[in-house]
Each structure stands twice: as C-alpha cells, then as structure tokens.
C-alpha cells in the first residue's frame, strides 16, 4: 500500500495537472465514486479547474474551482497515471504489471480528460481504492479524524510523548500504524523507523525509556524524508513504464529483508506476524 512518501511523491509529480480544466469524466466502476452516482460524479467534475493538489495522510485532495474537492485514496493497489500526451507519463501509487500499457486498460476504472488533450487515469487491480467528490466540511471532518502529520511542525516531542503516555499497553508497531495518532505511516516505514531507533516493534509503548522515545520520534521524519528524496519505495519486479522506480528500496534496512544480514550487527533479519501484519526487525540490535 502506498504510504506517506509515495503519496507525497505522487502529489509533487502531479503538479503539472494544476490549472487544467476537466473536459469529461468516464467511470467504469461505479463503486469507486460512491456515495455519488456516476452521473452526479461526472457532471459535477465537468468544466471544473484543478486549482491545487494537497495531501493529508495517504489521501490526495484535488481542490476544484467549484469549491469542491476530489479526494483520492489509492488503498492497496491503486495507481494514478497522468498522460501528458507528449513526454513522460506521471505514474504513482502501487506499481503493477501492465498497469500503464494500452491505456485505458482492464485496470482503468476512472478516466479524467482535460481540455488540453491530457488525461488522468485511475487504475486499480483490486478495486479497493476510491475517488470522492466532496465539500470542504467533509475534507475537514476527514482531517480532524486523522492524527498529526509527521513532517509538519505540529509533530513535536511533547505531543509524541503525550501519545506514548496515553497508550502504554499498545505494541510500538500497532501504535505507529494507528492513523488517528500519526497519519501516513504504514508497514514499511513503521518497521524502518523501529529499526532506526533500535526498538523491537513488539515492545509495549509504556516500556520505552525517554531516550528510546526520543530516538523513535526522530527516526520517523528521517525515514520519511529519505524516502521522499528517493521518490518512495517500489519493488523492482514492477518496472514502471516511465522507468521511474522509487529508489527508497535501496535504503530499506529491514522491510522485506527476511533472512538477510542486518547491516548494523550482522544478525539475521526476522519476520513475524504482529496484529496480522508482516513485521521485520533485527532480534539482536533492536531491543
């Protein structure tokens, strides 16, 4: 699932969509645009200009000229592809084999055509992703239900410590995955942050020392920034059509490294299931 760095990367890559006017919209999978009907969704988008593109947690928010907002959640396998007609396509989200070939293809569920002949495709293999056309209140409501953005000034050691105190019995992994505490972290970056802080993801939050809490607090934005600088993580068996593979994969220390040697201590990286999620760590140097 695309996490904060991948969605942030996509948001930045999609800045060329800003200012474009929507000519027409086609929906091949009506469930994806619920609760609106296809007719209402397409009619309300037609003629609108994209004023801005923002991100909140893992959600992309396109601000439209009619004071409405198109929210996009890629979920497990969603992918946005912008075809500029000339030049490189922008591809973001979950890379999938054949996803960018012969567009629109069998994975394409929503097509947004702009007046200048360019196109935005929403592809999704498993169809858990969604597009919602909403008003400002809805965006605010969604935002209020989400936790702090870890790359903003609101993410302070004080508020992080307060959360730690509030949920002492949770395991670190479960605590960091909770979107109502810190927004945007998923499996990859939680495992990597725990490795960076030398903390086992299975630990109870209440057992962290002040130093460990501080280390963890520092590692989260560090890992996310490193990933954004490398355009996120994508796995090499899915080469994207534009050849732009997320390079963060080269910097991962534990995620997807089961059986490999820890770069820090040489012990073997373990993988366990924790609350149903694959969890990677070094049993020796993560305490």
Active-site annotation, residues: 2-3, 58, 277
Binding flag, residue 264, Zn ion (CB under 5 A) = yes
Closest approach, Cβ 222 to Zn ion, in A, equals 18
Answer yes or no whether residue 272 interacts with Zn ion by CB under 5 A: no
The region of 14-22, 175-183, 192-200, 261-269 touching Zn ion under the rule CB under 5 A is 261-269
The least CB distance from residue 35 to Zn ion, in Å, is 48
Closest to 3 in 3D by CA, of 133, 217, 186: 186
Q: How far is the CB of 194 from Zn ion (least distance, A)?
A: 12
131 vs 223 by CB, closer to Zn ion:
223
Shortest distance in whole angstroms from residue 21 CB to Zn ion: 53
Q: Of residues 103, 226, 272, 285, which one binds Zn ion by CB under 5 A? A: 285
Q: Smaller CB distance to Zn ion: residue 120 or 199?
A: 199
Q: Concatenated DSSP letters for 209-235?
A: -HHHHHHHHHHHHHHHHHHHHTT-B--
Measure Cα distances from 198 to 172, 258, 285 in Å.
12, 17, 6
Task: From 77-85, 193-201, 243-251, 258-266, give the range in contact with Zn ion by CB under 5 A.
Answer: 258-266
CB of 176 to Zn ion, least distance (A): 19
Name which of 129, 121, 116, 75 is nearest 102 in CA terms.
121
Nearer to Zn ion, 59 or 262 (CB): 262
Q: Which of 13, 81, 85, 45 is nearest to 241 (CA)?
A: 81
Asked if 254 touches Zn ion (CB under 5 A), the answer is no
Interface residue with Zn ion, options 140, 239, 265, 278 (CB under 5 A):
265
Is residue 287 classed as helix, strand or coil in its secondary structure?
A: coil
DSSP-assigned beta bridge partners for residue 196: none
Please say which residue, 11 or 264, places its beta carbon nearer to Zn ion: 264
Contact 53, 45 (CB under 8 A): no
Please count the residues of this chain forming the interface with Zn ion, following the rule CB under 5 A: 7
What is the helix (H) or strand (E) element at residue 163, kind and residue range?
Answer: helix 157-166
Task: Work out whether 262 is an interface residue with Zn ion (CB under 5 A).
Answer: yes
Rg (CA), the chain: 20
Contact, 3 vs 78, CB < 8 A? no
List the 90-93 sheet strands across, edge first. 22-27, 108-114, 119-124, 78-83, 90-93
Contact status: 226 vs Zn ion (CB under 5 A): no
Query: According to the binding rule CB under 5 A, does residue 282 interact with Zn ion?
Result: yes
Residue 214, judged by CB atoms within 10 A of its CB (0-12, 13-18, 19+), counts as middle
- Distance from C-alpha of 143 to C-alpha of 99, rounded to nearest angstrom: 30
Q: How far is the CB of 199 from Zn ion (least distance, A)?
A: 12
Nearest residue (CB) to Zn ion, 37 versus 263:
263
Tell me: does residue 239 bind Zn ion (CB under 5 A).
Answer: no
Query: Which residues of the chain form contacts with Zn ion (CB under 5 A)?
Result: 262, 264-265, 267, 282, 284-285
């Amino acid at each position: 699932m695309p996490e904060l760095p991948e969605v942030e990367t996509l948001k930045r890559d999609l800045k060329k969509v800003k200012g474009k006017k929507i000519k027409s919209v086609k929906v091949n999978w009506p469930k994806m645009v619920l609760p609106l009907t296809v007719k209402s969704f397409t009619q309300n988008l037609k003629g609108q200009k994209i004023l801005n593109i923002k991100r909140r947690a893992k959600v992309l928010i396109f601000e439209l000229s009619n004071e409405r907002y198109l929210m996009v959640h890629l979920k497990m396998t969603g992918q946005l592809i912008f075809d500029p007609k000339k030049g490189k396509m922008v591809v973001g989200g979950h890379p999938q084999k054949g996803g960018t070939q012969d567009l629109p293809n069998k994975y394409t569920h929503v097509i947004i055509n702009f007046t200048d002949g360019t196109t935005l495709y929403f592809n999704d293999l498993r169809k858990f992703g969604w597009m919602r056309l909403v008003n400002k209140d809805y965006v605010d409501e969604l935002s209020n239900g989400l936790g702090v953005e870890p790359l903003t000034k609101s993410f302070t050691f004080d508020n992080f410590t307060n959360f730690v105190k509030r949920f002492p019995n949770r395991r670190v992994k479960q605590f960091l995955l909770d979107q109502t505490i810190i927004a945007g972290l998923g499996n990859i970056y939680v495992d990597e942050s725990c490795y960076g802080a030398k903390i086992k993801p299975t630990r109870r939050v209440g057992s962290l020392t002040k130093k460990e809490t501080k280390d963890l607090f520092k590692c989260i934005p560090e890992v996310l920034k490193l990933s954004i600088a490398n355009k996120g993580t994508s796995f090499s068996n899915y080469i994207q059509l534009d050849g732009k593979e997320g390079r963060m994969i080269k910097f991962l220390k534990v995620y997807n490294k089961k059986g490999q040697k820890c770069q820090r201590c040489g012990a073997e990286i373990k993988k366990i299931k924790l609350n149903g999620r694959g969890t990677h760590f070094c049993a020796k140097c993560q305490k």
